Amino acid sequence: MSPTIVNREIALLKHMFNLAERWEFYRGRNPVRDVKFLAEDKFHFRFLREAGEETLRARCSLYLQDLLVFTIHTGLRRTEIFNLRWKEVDLEDGVIKVVAQKNQRPLEVPLSEKALAVVQSWHGILKSEYVFYNLATGGRWKDLRLGLQKACPEAGIERVTRHTFRHTFATRLTRQVRIWLR
């Protein structure tokens, strides 16, 4: 496990014991109170440059290409994409309206030209309540890991996770804002 994951588990345990003490469910000293957090590399995250995105996309299956483009151009989380239903998509205004998974707040996401093109292509074969679905089963997608595990080595790209695409979105957005503010 990465230091980040271990630290989140330690933080959860500390919090649980602190609450148990406060609520008088646990008597005694918090047993994880003095456990130190591991050092994390907080300044390193992976993102794809445009050339890397194109190389990876060329090695992906067709469905994975669409999901890759959509993720990079919206910044949505995996579950927000996999649970996206047509009733949440406004093709006319080019936005999707979802409830953010992490904080349960309404979120309106404008679709870039590329993201909108992906959604429109899936709308043309509308056979499910979900925007992205498994063509064989009609059910929603559950994971991209196997497809990425195959495509990444072929593209010569290492350590790509679903968060790499969110980081890519954020990095590109930040660059565009800097250009716009100049």
**63: pLDDT strictly greater than 90:** no
Which contacts qualify for 86-93: CB closer than 8 Å, 24 or more apart? Answer: 86/123, 86/126, 86/129, 86/130, 86/131, 87/129, 89/119, 89/123, 89/131, 91/116, 91/119, 91/120, 91/123
Can you list the domains of the chain with their CATH numbers? Answer: 1-44 (no CATH), 50-181 (1.10.443.10)
Distances in Å between the Cα of 74 and the Cα atoms of 67, 77, 114, 126, 154 are 10, 9, 10, 21, 25
pTM for this model (two decimals): 0.71
Q: 105-151 pLDDT, tens per residue?
A: 888 999 999 999 999 999 888 788 899 988 778 788 877 778 888 88
Q: 44-57 pLDDT, tens per residue?
A: 667 888 888 899 88
